[in-house]
């Protein structure tokens, strides 16, 4: 494969490598994407479930939806794509992950340098006072959001405890202001965390090799990162099942899943290590 040979020569120089990952990489772990043909936004309305207005109007409904998603994520495991990226970091050192995903699977796969552009679903954030809760803090505040609890919850128990009997009394209450706490994700209409976004552009500016993996590249400002990196001289690589708006801009394109392509690239580099 010609693309593999070209990329291998770049990688063995041990340059600064950035991986921008989207929903496609986690789809291989059984987590539905949002914009594919079977995506979640084809079945549910973002304005009803992922906005501040929706939360203020019906926090019980919104939390039922997020607990449904959290349970899917809690039962998922990092796949070969996540694990390959973690191996790249161990082997080449100067590797960063910028992810649009909120599932935390990169951390669970062993990656240490990860920027979560859209937050993390197992953390908490108060939209009233701005207080943020780590995963451990939030599971203590809101036991329904505990990853292990959700992982072990049967379908029958989920239906009984979350779908049928969940009510306002179950909602997490902020320890600072006493208002209802929402999930630690970025909703539609909300700005990305300024420090995280600033760091993402800083890394992209200095990248030697920039991978886009499993991202539709339709959501801003994340979709601007590979463009910015390319303009600063980065070698741009796309790993995706489908064509994206930036496919023609990429130096090499791999049409396949992250779990299929990334281990191949990793093995090529290891053979030259």
Q: What are phi and psi of 168, to 5 degrees?
A: -60, -30
First-last CA distance in the chain: 20
DSSP letters spanning 120-179:
EEEEEE-TTT--EE-HHHHHHH-GGG-HHHHHT--HHHHIIIIIIS--GGGS-B-TTT-S
Q: What are phi and psi of 99, to 5 degrees?
A: -120, 145
Catalytic residue among 69, 82, 106, 118: 118
Q: Tokens 């706490």 belong to which residue?
A: 181
Comparing C-alpha atoms, which of 75, 76, 186 is closest to residue 120?
A: 186
Across the beta sheet with 182-185, the strand order is: 132-133, 119-125, 182-185
118 is catalytic: yes
* Residues annotated as catalytic (active site), given as ranges: 118
């Amino acid at each position: 494969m010609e693309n593999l040979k070209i990329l291998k020569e770049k990688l063995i120089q041990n340059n600064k490598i950035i991986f921008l990952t989207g929903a496609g990489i986690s789809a291989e772990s059984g987590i539905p994407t949002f914009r594919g043909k079977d995506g979640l936004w084809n079945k549910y309305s973002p304005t009803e479930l992922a906005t501040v207005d929706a939360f203020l109007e019906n926090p019980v409904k919104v939390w039922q939806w997020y607990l449904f998603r959290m349970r899917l994520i809690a039962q998922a495991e990092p796949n070969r794509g996540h694990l390959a990226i973690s191996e790249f970091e161990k082997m080449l050192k100067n590797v960063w992950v910028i992810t649009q995903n909120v599932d935390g699977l990169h951390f669970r796969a062993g990656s240490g340098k990860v920027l979560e552009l859209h937050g993390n679903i197992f953390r908490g954030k108060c939209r009233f006072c701005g207080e943020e809760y780590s995963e451990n803090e939030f599971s203590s505040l809101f036991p329904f959001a505990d990853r292990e609890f959700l992982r072990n919850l049967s379908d029958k128990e989920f239906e009984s405890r979350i779908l049928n009997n969940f009510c306002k009394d179950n909602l997490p209450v902020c320890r600072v202001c006493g208002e209802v706490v929402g999930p630690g994700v970025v909703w539609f209409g909300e700005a990305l965390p300024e420090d995280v976004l600033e760091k993402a552009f800083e890394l992209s500016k200095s990248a030697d090799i920039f991978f886009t993996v499993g991202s539709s590249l339709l959501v801003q400002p994340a979709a601007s990162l590979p463009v910015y990196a390319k303009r600063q001289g980065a070698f741009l690589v796309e790993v995706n099942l489908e064509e994206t708006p930036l496919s023609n801009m990429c130096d090499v394109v791999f049409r396949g899943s992250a779990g299929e392509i990334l281990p191949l690239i990793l093995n090529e580099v290891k053979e030259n290590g």
